[in-house]
Structure 1
């Protein structure tokens, strides 16, 4: 068996996946593994020729056993206290993750205190602390009072499943604490001295950047050197993500390679004996991995670096497939469920691409560059007799280096395209030039940052002098990233691709690489006599995959997106137009630009392939309906925005559309002005207006109409829209309350609709006559779970039950997606996707 470790790893991974999807009991799997082990031992003693197959089965069962043990051992009795305020005693089991608005700890629970009773417990807890200036350290024993909750499951299909992610990390509950008084340190101890030393060293080394650079520079530098991303602002993270170099902000193979290269150069400078290289490099790399948090990319790079170093030290052959497989096997035996971690998948896939595709691409690019060079010099300079004197082309060394420099990022991108599209819904055409330009700058930043950090251990002013240069390079680097991000076509957002498309992509890579490398011999290739038929078959397969990915056909699709306590509805017309009615919004989102818009709505739109908004409707100026627009209008082309007349500011900032009983929020007015300044037409709409959104769609505005100032609260000026497609109609009612509902009832039969978006999150301010007049088949309540307003009101739910309408709620059902061909109605929910 060639490369047995590769086969062992593949079978082990199969066992881990098998354990996830079959729900085997760990005890059953252990019995099967023990039985298989006996067979392997007997086969070894008897020199059984088929014993290698039994070993493969043993690794499969080992993966099954360890994955089931990992799932079952992480369960904690703390789940029974979820939803309660408790006092939890435990120990900080990780370094603090300091963020702008909170500090996050991994916390090992010891006991729950309830009055005079103490209940011993065990298990890992994610501790999130807000409004507390004190940062605790690894090993501190704390008594924490707060609200214990279970991580939320996603309400929208395709959204990141935070609960599953944490459960795979062994965490089933989150403790939310607020304020200095909620945490009391009662002791310390019982810790791993190596981890404690590494984290203490990281804290001291990071202090040099904190004390000598601006906060923004220090955040990026500590991200590059130590992988600490908590204080990096959203705009910077987005710029790195969209240019394809986000891996630079978390320690990965590039960083480990640069550290290893620096160590080798340092040892070479002092002429250290070759026999000392591996023993000296090993503890430094392991210590660096401990400082940076042992994420999958760091572990992979560290193990591979050490395996290569020790193979050279021992005079053994270095085989990259075996090394890569062994690194994966070590990590997955330690933490089997890391196989589901996007960082693990991207790290190993990118490395596979670089090592497998890289040499082939480098050879091809070298031939291309050499050919271009030779073509350029064929135009010879005239000699003294009129003949031609050949000019020298580019040196072969330069061609090889240039080809390799281009091949590495290209190979990594080709290998990770499906995964990046699946997890992040983007493709970055500027990734290759960005990585080429970033690599030398990152190397210089890493060198200067580490030297300054070491100097800072002895004298901070000296570190400050060196970091003056670091700051200049950082500013240059960030300016370069911003420039690349602004290039036309720098990022392309994609709908989430089907799994089959990824399979076709990787199959194509193997096929092309096999042909180019000669693995597929001419005899094999001759079997494909009719390449036209093969190409046509492949085209049909791709068409079948692409067709369901490309759109919804002649259907109207309305998405009532789960944004928590707020409203957001997306209308996709049969003609391919997109209208977003409200954007959701969380507290302070108008000002911060971070919240429902950036974390929920934008990812949702990108997952389903929406790249622009033909119409953005903001029904009224409350933040839970319009706050997300602050992010969306910056990141999506918006063709037209509609607001109620009273919310549209004129040049003086006054609302000419009429007086209201409430003042228009200044942040909303600023948002409107910003939209107009950026070329987005903002128009007022009111009762009697209509909009030509799509030739097959009838869209009418039913409210607001004329209203007395005392009745014109911000809720009552909500835009009310009726959308009709053939025989089916949808009524969107914003947050209209009793006064506006009475005005609507004057329209009589015009209100009738099959789907009613309930006004004001299903509050008690509802006229029964409105539901009676609309006569909906389906009522949708956009409401957040555990909201403090008591929405939806029991009286509203009782009214809907008596009306016979089917009720869907975001807090219970997640997103509600209704499709119609103009005749039937088909309903899907986000909760049904999990």
Structure 2
């Protein structure tokens, strides 16, 4: 029974009867075969580029794979099947795996990933186990897998007494064939080209310089897809191999002669290999993922040899699935099931995780320069000892230098049609106002940011009112910060999202209303609404916006004032003349009635921030508010246009995180 895939890359020849000739990513649950010619009806969307700091940039990933847009199909008709031999071969391999390994879904998808590079239907739970076990790289066909296959091929030809030259020639040809089957991903390209160039260098008796071979492999990949240069997978792949070539031989010399037992020598070499790879890729891991699981050192020592056995079992299964009553099929099920269970075991052992803040570029440069000095020290320590030590001390000084001029900021997350804002101060106070429209905001936007920035506590979580677009993401935040006080307006709602919110934050909830003042070590928050009349109107009309918290925030480090009216109606304020600048978060996503023109003008903010979703059905923000910013020289900011907005205080310099304007959009 076939297993459906969740997304495909398709070549589009025409769109709305117009010649298109481009690649797009197709999101659909229908089971299609590689090479099928289809006719589809649906909606074409722009690539979903990241618009928040530290958010996974799925749009850039799709772009690096050659996609120009995303197509969500409503109806698909298969016009004809492919007559391409390569497509048919990949389809037959997939069908053989599905047929003989059904109904073991996780095993099917694991074998598909290791055989033809198809990871599209791997379950989230299995993917998370590989990640937490430090084994995520085993799911993607890379140099490790190609190296194992290269070793198996050369060993097989050696056993049947093929000469060494022919052995390397046939291995190179078979790897090129495997490159086509595995989908020609960048990591496979790099590994196969590396092995092929190495083989042919031996055949023609050329000098096998590893750096030159790695450079040729990288050049081939970049000629094929130049945008791979910004792909974290490409960078990790080449950085790990470069570290093994550049650092490992010198480090291994320090231990090689002192180790006599072969088992101890193998364990030491394996441990050093993993360590060197992490050392070489650490800055990229910090920038791309921000975390390392220490259990990876143990799990890789066990799982990499296991992977070699599993690959042998997969090859035997593909060649002889019914031989001996299906003995190879049964052995593959047993080995793949054990592989999955052992991965889960290591994931359960992973009780600790090392988190890192992405370093700036100057620190990355200093880090790799330090590795160069370290290699020089290993090779020439008797000759250049003092200047090498001086160079290392200089680099370490630069590495730990702090060039941040203003650590205070306000960050408006781009959560679509909703609100979520973080206030961070120099003394370490962190205030989160609202959490966006759903749990995905917490798991994909807010929590990754807090993790990557090293923010391990929140001083306050404020829910302006119980509408879903403001509290939908708060349950996930509260569960990660269970001791943080949660401030609400006290209004209750009988909805699933509100019940989740109450269940998560009930123990630390405190109700505030007009007249309350919250004083922290370096901030003050004055609550201007709701008053008793607002709460009464909200109860009678069931209008939750009327009872929204209206907040004035003042930081001790500056003389500005920051206004957060939630979704309530903006009202006139008595602002002290000592206030330097006024920063206003527009009420109710830029709604006309919630932001009267005369009130906005009386407040006279220097900056007006509107948080709303792109192409939302409510008409937010109202054009009147947009015109207001243009006519009266108010700096207007919109998350639907500019993405997340980070205001550095006290001067309110703003950084925008939306890069979608760099690419074409298809509406």
**TM-score over 0.5 for the pair:** yes
| Distance across 1 between alignment mates of 2:593 and 2:124 | 38
Q: 2: CA distance between counterparts of 1:464 and 1:160? A: 38
CA deviation after TM superposition for structure 1 residue 624, in Å: 2.6
Aligned position for 2:616: 787
Q: Does 1:139 align with 2:35?
A: yes
Q: Shift of the alpha carbon at 1:167?
A: 5.0
Structure-1 residue corresponding to 2:51: 155
Counterpart mapping for 1:123-272 below 5 A: 123-130=21-28, 133-156=29-52, 166-167=62-63, 169-178=65-74, 182-189=75-82, 192-193=84-85, 195-208=86-99, 211-213=102-104, 215-267=105-157
Preserved contact between residue 406 and residue 648 of structure 2 (Cα < 8 Å): no
- Residue 583 of structure 1, aligned match among 435, 444, 448: 435
In structure 2, what is the Cα distance between the partners aligned to 1:512 and 1:241?
Answer: 30
Match of 2:395 among 526, 534, 538: 538
- Alpha-carbon separation, structure 2, partners of 1:479 and 1:365: 33
Are residues 1:699 and 2:525 paired? yes
Q: More displaced, 158-167 or 779-788?
A: 158-167
**Maintained 8 Å contact 1:722/1:732:** yes
Is the Cα contact below 8 Å between 2:94 and 2:112 reproduced in 1? no
Does 1:443 pair with 2:288? no
The residue number in structure 2 matching 1:84 is none
Deviations 1:446-494 (A, max 9, x none): 34444445555789976663354135413432323322432x3x231x2
- 2:644 is aligned with 1:815: yes
1:302-701 to 2 correspondences below 5 Å = 302-312=192-202, 318-366=208-256, 370=259, 395-456=260-321, 465-470=330-335, 472-486=337-351, 488=352, 490-492=353-355, 494-516=356-378, 518=379, 520=380, 522-523=382-383, 525=384, 528=386, 534=391, 536-544=393-401, 546-548=402-404, 552-553=406-407, 556-585=408-437, 589-590=438-439, 595-633=440-478, 636-637=480-481, 639-644=483-488, 646=490, 663-674=493-504, 681-692=508-519, 694-701=520-527
Secondary structure at the counterpart of residue 817 of structure 1: strand
What SS does structure 2 have at the residue aligned with 1:786? coil
* Cα deviation digits, residues 153-197 of structure 1 (max 9, x gap): 54335656666655555443333322xxx22222345x653x324
* Bigger radius of gyration among the two: 1
- Deviation by residue 1:249-289 (Cα, 9 ceiling, x = unmatched): 11111111222333344445555565653354344433332
Give the C-alpha shift of residue 569 in structure 1: 0.7
Verify the 8 A CA contact 1:643 1:719 in the aligned structure 2.
no
Decide whether the 8 Å contact of 1:199 with 1:290 is kept in 2: no
Partners of 1:672 and 1:820 in 2: CA distance: 33
**Distance in 1 (alpha carbons) for counterparts of 2:604 and 2:217:** 62
CA distance in 2, matches of 1:620, 1:209: 54
How many angstroms does 1:815 deviate by? 2.0
How far apart in 2 are the matches of 1:243 and 1:478? 6
Contact 1:145 1:183 in 2 (8 A): yes
C-alpha displacement of 1:780:
0.8
Residues in 2 aligned to 1:263 and 1:220: alpha-carbon distance in whole angstroms: 22
1:781 Cα deviation from its structure 2 partner = 0.6
Map of 2:665 onto structure 1? none
Distance in 1 of aligned mates of 2:166 and 2:396: 56
Residue in structure 2 matched with residue 110 of structure 1 by the alignment: 13
Q: Residues of 2 paired with 1:453 and 1:702: CA distance?
A: 70
Inter-partner Cα distance in structure 2 for 1:330 and 1:356 = 21
- Deviation per CA, 1:23-42: give whole Å up to 9, x if none: xxxxxxxxxxxxxxxxxxxx
The 8 Å contact of residues 242 and 491 in structure 1, kept in 2 or not, is answered as no
Kept in 2, the 8 Å contact 1:730–1:754? The answer is: yes
Q: 1:669 to 1:643 in 2, by over 3 A?
A: farther
* Offset at residue 633 of structure 1 (A): 4.7
Q: Which of 564, 572, 584 is equivalent to 1:756?
A: 584
* 3-state SS of paired residue (1:136): coil
Structure 1 pair 243–615 and aligned structure 2 pair: CA distance change class (3 A): farther
Q: Deviations over 1:670-709 (max 9, x none)?
A: 3542466xxx7344444444434x4221023333443222
Q: 1:718 aligns with which of 548, 568, 577?
A: 548
CA offset digits 1:468-525 (Å, max 9, x no partner): 4135413432323322432x3x231x22211121111111111111221x2x3745x1
The answer (yes or no) to whether the contact 1:557–1:818 under 8 Å persists in 2 is yes
Change in Cα spacing, 1:565 to 1:481, as seen in structure 2 (3 Å) is: farther
Q: Could you say what secondary structure the match of 2:102 adopts?
A: helix
Report deviation, 1:296. Answer: 1.3
Shift of 1:242: 4.9
- Contact 1:97 / 1:104 at 8 angstroms: preserved in 2? no
Tell me if the contact between 1:156 and 1:562 (Cα under 8 Å) persists in the aligned partners. Answer: yes
Figure out how many residues of one structure are paired with residues of the other and give that number: 651
Instruction: Report the CA distance shift for 1:227/1:574 in structure 2 as closer, same or farther (over 3 A).
Output: same
Label 1:448 to 1:533 Cα distance change in 2 as closer, same or farther (>3 A): closer
* CA offsets 1:609-663 (integer angstroms, 9 cap, x no match): 43443333333343332333454456x54541415254xxxxxxxxxxx5x5xx4
| Aligned partners of 1:781 and 1:810 also within 8 Å | yes
2:183 matches 1:293: yes
Give the 3 Å change call, closer, same or farther, for CA 327–532 of structure 1 in structure 2: closer
Secondary structure of the structure 1 residue equivalent to 2:119: coil
1:135/1:632 CA distance change after superposition, 3 Å: same
Structure 2 distance, partners of 1:419, 1:664, is 46
CA distance in 1: counterparts of 2:391 and 2:7, whole angstroms: 56
